Amino acid sequence: MIDVLLRVLIYGAVVSGIWALAASGFSLIFGVARILNFSHGVFFVLGAYISIVLIKNLGVNLFVSYVLAVLLVGLIGIVAYKLMMSPIREHEVMVIIVTLAFALLVEQILLIIFGEHGISVPSFVRGVVEIAGVPVTMKRVMAFLSAIVVIILLEYFINRTRTGKMISAASQDPEAAMIVGMNVERLFVITMFISASLAAFGGLLYGQVFAANPIFAVKSLIFAFAIVILGGLGSVRGSIVASFIVGYILTATITTFGARWGEFAVLITIIAILIFRPTGLFGVEE
């Protein structure tokens, strides 16, 4: 029993950290620009697939390929924002439809190019360590530590840097931010870059620990969206906390009952919490 509990605690932390990256990116762009980006899962998957192409097809160094993949997806996020989201940003339903259509299109393109089978992202760490008697691969340890470091850096950027504080101000009142001379559109672009990059990094880590699959362009979106709703729309901290709740429920259910029950248990839990707290754990009434 203790072995099972330790396994859930350790493996759940890894899954939670990865989903925290994806969910915080989704929450960030909504909190700042009020955009429900339903193509967010595309950035999650592209982080893995671009790094795979750079490593296996172009022979790029592992670490360099990770950095390039995240930056490239961030730039793709900016292009997607400029072409698809910014022109119709005031029409929320149209944004959802267009971004979801883009996600489905990219999923089909990836399926045509790479097929439906999962592909692992090569990791620069190997081996297995024991944590409290539980064998854990080094790539899981590295994935968790990397996710935590990036989350801490995100928190520092938003709360401690000048640009981060400007982004926070623009998220609270865009019109007032423009009046005092802030370039709100530029701040939205920066936020989109960060949002896409966070998702890409999460997908890159996921592809190392598990495997990248084109269907995750939509599946990861569903997970991220569910986590964001649970944490409270627009609350990055809420998304991070909700990610750990979801990650541990998912891991505990899979460990106890099998993989097919994992998503079922997560969705039931989210529905139950939202019945009693419709705004999510950290959300506020509009």
250-261 pLDDT, tens digit each: 999 998 888 788
Report for 62-71, 89-98, 242-251, 264-273: range of highest mean pLDDT = 62-71
DSSP the chain: -HHHHHHHHHHHHHHHHHHHHHHHHHHHHHHHH----TTHHHHHHHHHHHHHIIIIIT---HHHHHHHHHHHHHHHHHHHIIIIIGGGTT-HHHHHHHHHHHHHHHHHHHHHHH-SS-BPPP-S---EEEETTEEEEHHHHHHHHHHHHHHHHHHHHHHHSHHHHHHHHHHH-HHHHHHTT--HHHHHHHHHHHHHHHHHHHHHHHHHHS-B-TTHHHHHHHHHHHHHHHH-TT-HHHHHHHHHHHHHHHHHHHHHH-GGGHHHHHHHHHHHHHHH-TT-SS----
User: In which band, very low, low, confident or very high, does the pLDDT at 274 lie, cut at 50, 70 and 90?
Assistant: confident
Identify the pLDDT of residue 285.
53
Specify the pLDDT at position 281: 77
Contact predicate 18/81, CB 8 Å = no
Q: Predicted confidence band at 230 (pLDDT cuts at 50, 70, 90)?
A: confident
Q: Report the distance separating Cα 6 and Cα 57, nearest Å.
A: 39
Q: Is 68 exposed, middle or buried (0-12, 13-18, 19+ CB in 10 A)?
A: middle
* Whole-number pLDDT of residue 53: 95
Q: Taking the model in full, what pTM does it have? A: 0.92
Contact 16, 248 (CB under 8 A): yes
Residue 178 has pLDDT above 90, yes or no: no
Considering the chain, what percentage of its residues have pLDDT values greater than 90? 59
Mean pLDDT throughout 186-200? 96
List, in order of start, the domains of the chain with CATH numbers. 2-276 (1.10.3470)
Q: Bridge partners of 131?
A: 134
Give the per-residue pLDDT at 3.
Answer: 79
What pLDDT, in 10s, does the model give residues 138-171? 999 999 999 999 999 999 999 899 999 999 888 8
Q: Which of 148-162, 204-218, 228-242, 243-257 has the lowest mean pLDDT?
A: 228-242
Mean pLDDT of the 93-102 span: 94
Beta-carbon contacts of residue 8 (< 8 Å; ≥ 6 apart): 248, 251, 252, 255
Contact 159, 225 (CB under 8 A): no
